[in-house]
Amino acid sequence: QGWLARHLLAKNTARSDFSAVSDGTGMTTSLEGLGGTLSFSNLAGLGGALYGRFADAITAMHPGDSPLEQSVQKAVRVAAAVREKANAIPVGPPNGNYTYGPLSNVLRPLAQVIKMDVGVELATADFLGWDHHEYLINAFPQQAAELGNALFAFNDDLGEHAKRVTVVMMTEFGRRVRENANNGTDHGA
């Protein structure tokens, strides 16, 4: 089990369907073992895709408690909750001044889901591209700028909701301080 999954499971409290969400680039290792992690990048459009007689028919076809049927039932519940909450968010551009960079594209839908107030306790998002084995001076400034700008826009977009959000950034490996022959850095401890 991943460390974030263990944290949520150890709380031993009733979790909502939205307790843990991820950016949808694959199962985040830290959430493995939790089961039922949602992709927040798809949540904003889910409410309009599964409703009314379609939702009723799908629910009627999957009344049991097998893992598949539970997943289908959860999808119908999640769609209904998203549809209800999305109507409360004002229509228009997001509040944040996002870039068109990769982290901004991940944080924009996450902010939307947080503002829906559906019970998100924990979210994970990957920002790849930090493996600078060569020409660090060409890549690092743009990466750092996107990190700073995206986090600023995310905080701005959240508005009052930012008071209940804690951002944690981490990397899975270290780097050597000394530059290598390719003007980059190699893996370190």
Percent of the chain with pLDDT over 90: 22
CA atoms in the 13 A half-sphere facing the CB of 41: 14
The pLDDT value given to residue 33: 81
Average of per-residue pLDDT across 9-32 = 78
pTM: 0.79
Read off the pLDDT of residues 138-165 as tens digits, 9 standing for 90 and up.
888 999 999 999 999 999 999 999 999 9
Read off the pLDDT of residues 53-98 as tens digits, 9 standing for 90 and up.
778 888 888 888 887 888 788 878 888 887 777 766 665 555 678 9
Of 156, 153, 151, nearest in space to 168 by CA: 151
The pLDDT value given to residue 160: 93
CA atoms in the 13 A half-sphere facing the CB of 75: 20
Tokens of 167: 């951002």
Highest mean pLDDT among 14-18, 156-160, 176-180 belongs to 156-160
CA atoms in the 13 A half-sphere facing the CB of 62: 19
Tokens of 5: 């999954």
Average of per-residue pLDDT across 13-32 = 77
Higher model confidence: residue 52 or residue 177? 177
Residue 27 has phi, psi (to 5 degrees) of -70, 120
User: With b meaning 16 or more CB within 10 Å and e meaning fewer, what string describes 104-129?
Assistant: bebbbbbbbbbbbebebebbbbebee
